[in-house]
A and B are shown apart, each in its own frame.
Chain A
Amino acid sequence: MALPNPALTQIPDSYKYGWSDPEATHLNIARKGLSAEIVEEISRFKGEPEWMTKLRLKAYRHFEARPMPNWGADLSAIDFQDIYYYIAPTDKAVQSWDDVPDYIRRTYDKLGIPEAEKKYLAGVGGQYDSEVVYHNIREDLEKQGVIFLGTDEALKKHPDIFLEHFGTVIPANDNKLAALNTAVWSGGSFIYVPPGVHVELPLQAYFRINTENMGQFERTLIIADEGSSVHYVEGCTAPTYSTASLHSAVVEIIVKKGARVRYTTIQNWSHNVYNLVTKRAVAHEDAVMEWVDGNLGSRVTMKYPSIYLVGERAHGEVLSIAFAGDEQHQDAGGKVIHAAPHTTSLITSKSISKGSGRTSYRGLVKVYPGCEKSKSTVRCDALILDEEARSDTYPYMEIDEEDVTIGHEATVSKVGSEQLFYLMSRGLSEAEAAAMIVNGFIEPIVKELPMEYAVEMNRLIQLQMEGAVG
Chain B
Amino acid sequence: MTALERATGGFVAVARVGDVQPGTVRVVEVDGRSLCLGLTEDGEWGAIDNICTHDGGTLGEGELDDSAVECPRHGGRFDLFTGRVLALPPVRPVTAYETEVDGDEVLVRIGSA
Contact = CB atoms under 8 A, between A and B. Distances in A.
- Decide if A and B touch, CB cutoff 8 A: yes
Interface of A: 62, 167-175, 280, 282, 308, 310, 337, 339, 368
Contact of B87 (A62, A168, A337, A368): A168
17 contacts: A169-B87, A169-B88, A170-B88, A171-B70, A171-B74, A171-B75, A171-B88, A171-B89, A173-B70, A173-B72, A174-B74, A174-B75, A282-B88, A308-B88, A339-B91, A368-B91, A368-B92
A280 B88 contact: yes
Interface string B65-105: 00000101111110000000011110110000000000000
A56 to B, nearest CB: 14
Contacts of A62: 75
Nearest to A252: B88
Contact-size category for B:
10 to 19
A291 to B, nearest CB: 16
Nearest to B76: A171
Q: Is the interface of A mostly helix, strand, loop or mixed?
A: loop
A77 B31 CA distance: 50
Contact of A337 (B70, B73, B76, B91): B91
A305 to B, nearest CB: 14
Q: Is the interface of B mostly helix, strand, loop or mixed?
A: loop
Contacts of A171: 70, 74-77, 87-89
Interface of B: 70, 72-77, 86-89, 91-92
Nearest to A179: B75
A453 B88 CA distance: 33
A126 B86 CA distance: 43
Contacts of A337: 89, 91
Contacts of B76: 171
Interface centre among B87, B88, B89, B91 (most CB of A within 10 A): B88
A156 to B, nearest CB: 22
Contacts of B91: 308, 310, 337, 339, 368
B87 A167 contact: yes
Contacts of B89: 171, 174, 308, 337
Given A168-B86, A168-B87, A169-B87, A339 B92 contact: yes
Nearest to B71: A173
A221 to B, nearest CB: 13
Nearest to A172: B75
A173 B61 CA distance: 14
A397 B87 CA distance: 23
Given A167-B87, A170-B88, A171-B76, 17 more contacts: A62-B75, A168-B86, A168-B87, A169-B88, A171-B70, A172-B75, A173-B70, A173-B72, A173-B73, A173-B75, A175-B74, A280-B88, A308-B88, A308-B89, A308-B91, A339-B91, A368-B92
Nearest to B92: A368
A170 B88 CA distance: 7
A196 to B, nearest CB: 26
A227 to B, nearest CB: 23
Shortest 9 CB-CB distances between A and B: which pairs? A171-B75, A173-B75, A339-B91, A168-B87, A171-B87, A174-B74, A174-B75, A169-B88, A172-B75
